[in-house]
Chains A and B, each alone.
Chain A
Amino acid sequence: MTTLVRTRGLTKRFPGVLAVDDVDLAISTGEIVALIGQNGAGKSTLIQVLAGLAAPGTYEGELTLADAPFAPGSVSEAEAAGIVVIPQEVNVVGDLTVGQNMFLGAEPTRRGLVDWAQLYARARDVLREFSIDVAPQARMGSLDLATQQLIVIARALSKQARLLILDEPTAALTENEVERLFGHLRTLRARGVACLFVSHRLAEVFTIADRIVVLRDGRIQGDHRTAETSRAEVVAQMTGEAAAAAPAGPPVAPTVGIVALETENLRVYAVDEPARQVVAGVSLSLHAGEILGLFGLLGAGCGPTALALFGAWPGQVTGRVQVSGRQVAIRDPSDAIRHGVGLVSQDRRDTLMLEHSVTDNVTLASLASLVRRGFLDLAGRELLARRYVARLDIRTPTTAAAVGTLSGGNQQKVQVARWLAAEVRVLLLIDPTRGVDVGARAEIHALLRQMAADGHAVLLVSSDAEELVAACSRVVVMRAGRIVDDQPAEGLTEGRLLHAAAGVAA
């Protein structure tokens, strides 16, 4: 085995964040290296640099490929050098066939025209090699997500890769499919291909990886041969608990009030497979004055639970929901809002009108209360917006500025402001601090605590254990659509949450 890729002192900053901090990492040929760490640990940024998604010059440090300096300026440049990335989210064109998707932009041609026979023959060979039982002429959109993902992976594996980077490749796969994928990875390893494997699932990491590298806050915390470490050790390194025995304890005084939102036997069905339950019978009580955390790995069903409670899940939902002790039917977000429930989503592109002003966005859910004699009270509306911009310390030059020009943290505060202005009593948040810098994250947590102290009920869905331990008064853990743990924040550790979510004993 020889060293294939090496970074020395790799450092990349974003405004306000040190995403990757002085990382020395070496990957050898024929080696599977797992890269683990919590959200925001710097995994994605590291991958971006290797994959050519970060322009040379935007980071510091040295990068070599087979001992030669290497600075890919684009994905195609990285691919030409043999570095192939399989992204976390599968991008396929649903209306094209499997074969067309596999050769998108690289269609084999004959005398200037697409050589369909060759395209489908090659697609068939790749599918056969990976035992994917799908016709190359099938429409991509007619297949389920796992099959689509397998096809994308198969296509990437069939390229002449020297280093294969897989970013959470197993999130949408079943156990059998994961096993099959691992089989292929081992074959590639035997051929000398190096592999960087990013995952949240520790069980998988310990099954497949030769080496485990732990990142936290952009730095490498541990670099172990898999045989020489334990889950407890890497979890401790991921969360930093070994270093700092107890992070700043949960400051929320659990002066819990009445039950604000209660759900019984909530079942949420997948959109594309109406028989599959994404949430399989969840019962929860959310009290006024508390911040309840909902933790789970990707696919555990936490996000869908919150969306269903807000009436925004596109598929079928069953189960009872009570708000302030009254049974309600929430079929649509407008129902939820009428009953005093608001939702802050992780994807601001879904919830904000980025080209519209701060005022427009903050007051969007409170228009009904601003109507006077049939007309909108524009001055009152402006006043309402300014009040919440000041109260939440939203940093914007004026309330007339387009929301898209604000920083991510301030955009999230605009979302929260919208619901405060609409006077909701229950606020659901899904990963509200994803992509938000550390300072703004702390501000948002402080804001949530203030809301809870004011008697709001807050449900915080997050895949970041550290965030939940820091912000919540109680944390519920979900796995595979079910609740598997329910803990008060006192004495709670990130390790315990991760263990429960991954289904391994502490």
Chain B
Amino acid sequence: MTQTTARETPAERRDVRRQALDSMRRLRRQADLRNYTLLGVLVVIWLAFQVLTDGIFLSQRNLGLLALQTTIVSLAAISAVMLIVTRNFDISVGSAVALVGVVLAVLTVRMGVSPPLAILAALLAGVAMGAWQGWWVTRLGIPSFIVTLAGMLYFRGLSLIVTDGETVAPLPGSLTRFATGYLPPFYSTSLILVLLGLYAGLQVGLARRARRLGLVERIRPVLVRAMLPVCVAAMAAFYVAALLGIPYLVLLLAAVTIAAELLMRRTRFGTQLYAIGGNPEAARLAGIKVGSVVFRDFVLAGLAYGITGIALTARVSGAVAGSAGVFLELDAIAAAIIGGTSLSGGRGRILGALLGALLMGSLNNGMSLLNVPTFYQETSRGIVLLVAVAIDQLSRRGRVDR
């Protein structure tokens, strides 16, 4: 055997490689496997950093910080998934977020508008930006890449014009306290338990109904599959929250995630988004008004500008028109892709994108702890993205070949 291995012919090597690829593709077809692969990679990276940093990485304090650091990218990644799933791209996110921040800061700092009113105005500004770009894409048929490339330029330009390039700070204390504060540990852990209970109740209800309708024979395996990952995540969250509580921003992210996940997986609108990305012509011939659905998708992306812009601006307590959100769109798209969203549309999960954001955030955080220069950090993130897309392509090829 050793003899033959040493001297295998190129044909044999090809054969082995093909078999390996085949089995990989077979595995990939079994549902959301790649998210589990991603989870595995994440665990490996975490353990490695844990060892390398002498136990600092997985400390409660650092994990809390990590969650906070990934919040902004995660928010943007959620909206990236919702657009990419329909074969649309938004590269204006960073600039749009900066402009929302300028609206918030100018209203509160320069004009003395009360924070609740200013937040509402900032959200509306985001929605308007999303609707504006959606109009160009769906009414005039201009590719979203172009529309948002233009947006990236003039949203940034407008931010600089309005602020004259100066930082507008500091924001009222209530806003800053929201963005940097924590829900106290007791309330945090209670909230986690309540949410877990609600989720379990919902799953039991759904599983019972599925059994009553004859879709599944036994409830337990269904419940285990639905509950296991959530329980693990809840335990991790409980561990971190028990010491410091949960940052309000992370709570905001959790709320947005739940809303987006419900929208994508459990509403007609979300199903239509996937259908449009899967095959726009088929969607049209099945009676879906593609233009109107995609327009609403862009409006939601606008809402995400608003939420992300407010969170980002409040966190640093001011609007920095020139540098706020720079490269955010690229990090968001990278997180979505790493998390399994297909660039050719029709496939992508919100939770996957959050894992993708967490993976990139972990690399940043861990390398910072190790005092790796930022140049190396950028490089490693690039390579992670490349590998993730390569996996995407391989799995895709396996499907189309047949």
Contact = CB atoms under 8 A, between A and B. Distances in A.
Contacts of A353: 275, 278-279, 282-283, 346
Contact of B275 (A312, A354, A364, A375): A364
A375 B267 contact: yes
A355 B278 contact: yes
A370 interface: yes
B288 A334 contact: yes
B59 interface: no
B282 A352 contact: yes
Given A356-B346, A379-B210, A332 B268 contact: no
Given A334-B288, A364-B282, A404-B402, A355 B215 contact: no
B397 interface: no
Interface string A342-369: 0101000111111110001000110110
B218 interface: no
B373 interface: no
A386 B265 CA distance: 19
A356 B4 CA distance: 43
Nearest to A364: B286
B135 interface: no
Contacts of A190: none
Given A353-B275, A355-B346, A382 B215 contact: yes
Interface in A311-364: 312, 332-334, 336-338, 343, 345, 349-356, 360, 364
A365 B210 contact: no
B271 A376 contact: yes
A404 B275 contact: no
B274 A383 contact: no
B275 A356 contact: yes
Contacts of B279: 349-350, 352-354
Nearest to A402: B399
A481 to B, nearest CB: 23
A345 B213 contact: no
Interface in B257-291: 262, 265-268, 270-272, 274-275, 278-279, 281-289
Contacts of A356: 274-275, 278, 346
A12 interface: no
A468 B399 CA distance: 36
A171 B288 CA distance: 33
A375 B266 contact: yes
A370 B275 contact: no
A353 B283 CA distance: 8
A405 interface: yes
B245 to A, nearest CB: 32
Query: Do most interface residues of chain A lie in helix, strand or loop, or is the interface mixed?
Result: helix
B282 A374 contact: no
Contacts of B286: 333, 337, 351, 364-365, 418
A371 B272 CA distance: 13
B206 interface: yes
Contacts of A400: 31
A365 B285 CA distance: 9
Interface in A110-153: none
Contacts of B271: 360, 367, 376
Interface in B14-40: 31
A355 B268 CA distance: 19
B285 A367 contact: no
B347 interface: yes
Given A353-B346, A375-B266, A312 B285 contact: yes
A452 B402 CA distance: 35
Contact of B267 (A333, A376, A418): A376
B275 A360 contact: yes
A377 to B, nearest CB: 9
Contact of B287 (A338, A355, A374): A338
Given A350-B282, A353-B282, A355-B347, A375 B288 contact: no
A336 B286 CA distance: 10
A504 interface: no
A333 B287 contact: yes
A374 B265 CA distance: 12
Contacts of A242: none
Contacts of A351: 281-282, 285-286
Nearest to A335: B287
B242 to A, nearest CB: 33
A246 interface: no
B288 A355 contact: no
Interface string B31-51: 100000000000000000000
B209 interface: yes
A332 B288 CA distance: 10
Nearest to B211: A379
A374 B274 contact: no
A426 to B, nearest CB: 14
Contact of A332 (B274, B283, B289, B399): B289
A333 B268 contact: no
Contacts of A382: 210, 213, 215
Given A376-B271, A379-B215, A334 B289 contact: yes
Interface in B183-227: 206, 209-210, 213-215
B282 A405 contact: no
Interface in B342-400: 346-347, 399-400
Nearest to A345: B285
B288 to A, nearest CB: 7
A4 B155 CA distance: 70
A378 interface: yes
A380 B274 CA distance: 19
Nearest to B209: A379
A353 B285 CA distance: 11
Contacts of A418: 286
Given A365-B287, A378-B266, A382-B215, A404 B346 contact: no
Nearest to A382: B215
Contact of B268 (A338, A354, A368): A368
A355 B85 CA distance: 13
A404 B399 CA distance: 8
A289 to B, nearest CB: 25
A379 B213 CA distance: 8
A343 B285 CA distance: 8
Nearest to B347: A355
Contacts of A367: 268, 271-272
Contact of B215 (A312, A333, A349, A383): A383
Nearest to A338: B287
Contacts of B282: 350-353, 364
A48 to B, nearest CB: 20
B385 to A, nearest CB: 23
A414 to B, nearest CB: 11
B84 to A, nearest CB: 15
Contacts of B289: 332, 334
B262 A375 contact: yes
Interface in A370-402: 370-371, 374-376, 378-380, 382-383, 386, 400, 402
19 contacts: A333-B287, A334-B288, A353-B279, A353-B282, A355-B347, A356-B278, A364-B275, A365-B286, A367-B268, A368-B268, A374-B267, A375-B266, A375-B267, A376-B267, A376-B268, A376-B270, A378-B206, A379-B209, A418-B286
Interface of A: 310, 312, 332-334, 336-338, 343, 345, 349-356, 360, 364-365, 367-368, 370-371, 374-376, 378-380, 382-383, 386, 400, 402, 404-405, 418
Given A365-B286, A367-B268, A382-B215, 12 more contacts: A312-B284, A333-B285, A351-B286, A353-B283, A355-B347, A355-B399, A356-B274, A356-B278, A364-B288, A379-B213, A379-B215, A404-B402
Nearest first, the 7 closest Cβ-Cβ pairs linking A and B are: A353-B278, A337-B287, A334-B287, A364-B286, A365-B286, A353-B279, A367-B268
